[in-house]
Amino acid sequence: MTNRRDTLKTLGGLAVLSALPGLGLAQGASSERRLVFVFLRGGLDGLAAVPAYGDPDLARRRGDLATAAPGEVNGALALDGTFALHPLLPEMHKLYRSGEAAVLHAVATPYRDRSHFDAQNVLENGTAKPYGRDAGWLNVALAQAAQRSGGVALGASVPLVLRGPAPVTSWSPSVMPSPDPDLLDRLGRLYRDDPLLAKPFAAALETEALMEGQGTRDGGRSGRGAPVAVLAQAAGRLLSQPDGPRVATIDFGGWDTHANQAGELGPLARNLRQLDRATATLKASLGPAWRHTVVLVVTEFGRTVAINGSRGTDHGTAAAAFALGGAVRGGRVIAQWPGLGDRDLHEGRDLRPTLDLRALLKAALAAQLGTSEAALETQVFPDSRGVPPLEGLFA
């Protein structure tokens, strides 16, 4: 005889997204605007992803890590007369040229040390110091939103940025074979009147049907081990539904390039390819909803300007960030470039930050969630009154 515990084990491969209140698959989302937060954990090398080829000191400082200038063999993809994209980011370059991507450079959080754990915590908790609170700024903003639409974390767990008072949940690719359809039908009839299991069971079946055949299974890997394109496709499928969530997060680790950073087979090249593919996948998966979407791609800090003894880079300060989507007024680079001369570097080694990352985050929350200026300054990002939102970036 099948009991309730067996039933829940059988459903372990299903994403029970609507089992938690407030997510939105069965609620009805009242806003068309979507927000996707992509966290590049480990410290993206902003000078590699977005080389400032117009800076006369770049090639000298970077050595073997320097990317060829636009027009040269394997050259970068020009954005303007100063900046370019890494040649492995052609899809992002297309978005830039179509006005659906903006590039931000020399950006950083208030954090100025070089601990991954502390830097990631500052970026996620929204305060100016590590472990300033247990909630994340995105969750706090969701709790403040007048139109509740819920949030979903794509991965094995809910990251700090999405934890807090607002109810959210997570989805990750299944590691189990799909249950037999006949078994699911019989279980559905068995539990349709059960006050505890009926609604979660129906929601799980709805989500499984939504993701079925969409390439979300990945050979047994799941959560943070899943290819980021798989998570991007799942995010697009969920957010594009009329009654689906409107906020999603995607964790993408592995950007800590201390050794052997350069080269077509190096870790940076591998990650940039995956990021570029995920960008195109997310746009395609969102379909018409892309027009109302903002995708923020950020990292906790940058890398050192100079190469280290292991042919990599060490933890730095300022980095690059990206704002993508149909709701972005793109086709431009936002940067107050500090330069790479001897006196220009932060502590003599890092790209100096000239733009607070919270200015980007505030602008996105105001545009996509309708978060008020007062809430942004006092609750979402406490003690950030001196950091105004970027103006004119989002439609």
Identify the CATH number of the domain in which residue 320 sits: 3.40.720.10
Neighbours of 195 (CB within 10 A): 7
Residue 16 lies in a domain: no
Q: Give the residue carrying structure tokens 């077509």.
A: 264
Three-class SS of residue 156?
coil
Cβ neighbours of residue 347 closer than 8 Å, sequence gap 6 or more: 317
Does pTM top 0.75 for this prediction? Answer: yes
Going 39 to 105 to 283 to 270, the CA torsion angle's sign is negative
Residue 319 lies in a domain: yes
DSSP string, 241-252: STTS-SEEEEEE
Three-class SS of residue 139?
helix
Token pair listed for 379: 């609750």
C-alpha dihedral, 103 to 287 to 236 to 108, nearest 10°: 10
Q: What is the pLDDT along the chain (395 residues), one digit of tens a residue?
A: 334 433 333 333 333 333 333 343 434 345 899 999 999 999 999 999 999 999 999 999 999 999 999 999 999 999 999 999 999 999 999 999 999 999 999 999 999 999 999 999 999 999 999 999 999 999 999 999 866 678 999 988 899 999 999 999 999 886 555 556 656 666 777 777 787 777 666 656 555 544 444 433 333 233 345 789 999 999 999 999 998 999 999 999 999 999 999 888 899 999 999 999 999 999 999 999 999 999 999 999 999 999 999 999 999 999 999 999 999 999 999 999 999 999 999 999 999 999 999 999 999 999 999 999 999 999 999 989 999 999 999 99
Residue 121 lies in a domain: yes
C-alpha dihedral, 376 to 377 to 382 to 388, nearest 10°: 100
Residue 106 lies in a domain: yes
Spatial distance between the Cα atoms of 276 and 278, rounded to a whole number of angstroms: 5
Residue 181 lies in a domain: no
Token pair listed for 244: 């689906």
Under a CB-based contact definition with an 8 Å cutoff, are residues 18 and 26 in contact? yes
Cβ neighbours of residue 313 closer than 8 Å, sequence gap 6 or more: 45, 65, 257, 258, 261, 303, 304, 306, 307
Residue 9 lies in a domain: no
Spatial distance between the Cα atoms of 153 and 231, rounded to a whole number of angstroms: 9
Q: Which ranges in 43-195 belong to alpha helices (H)?
A: 46-49, 58-62, 90-97, 116-125, 137-144, 181-191
How many distinct helices (H) and strands (E) make up the chain? 12, 11
- Give the range of the structural domain holding residue 299, as residue numbers without chain letter: 31-174+216-380
Domain count, the chain: 1
As to burial, measured by CB atoms within 10 angstroms (0-12 exposed, 13-18 middle, 19+ buried), residue 146 is exposed
Instruction: Calculate the alpha carbon distances from 76 to 47, 70, 96, 308 in Å.
Output: 12, 5, 14, 22
Under a CB-based contact definition with an 8 Å cutoff, are residues 229 and 214 in contact? no
pLDDT for res 192: 73
Tally of residues, the chain: 395
Going 108 to 110 to 116 to 117, the CA torsion angle's sign is negative
Strand partners, 151: 168, 247
Residue 359 lies in a domain: yes
Residue 133 lies in a domain: yes
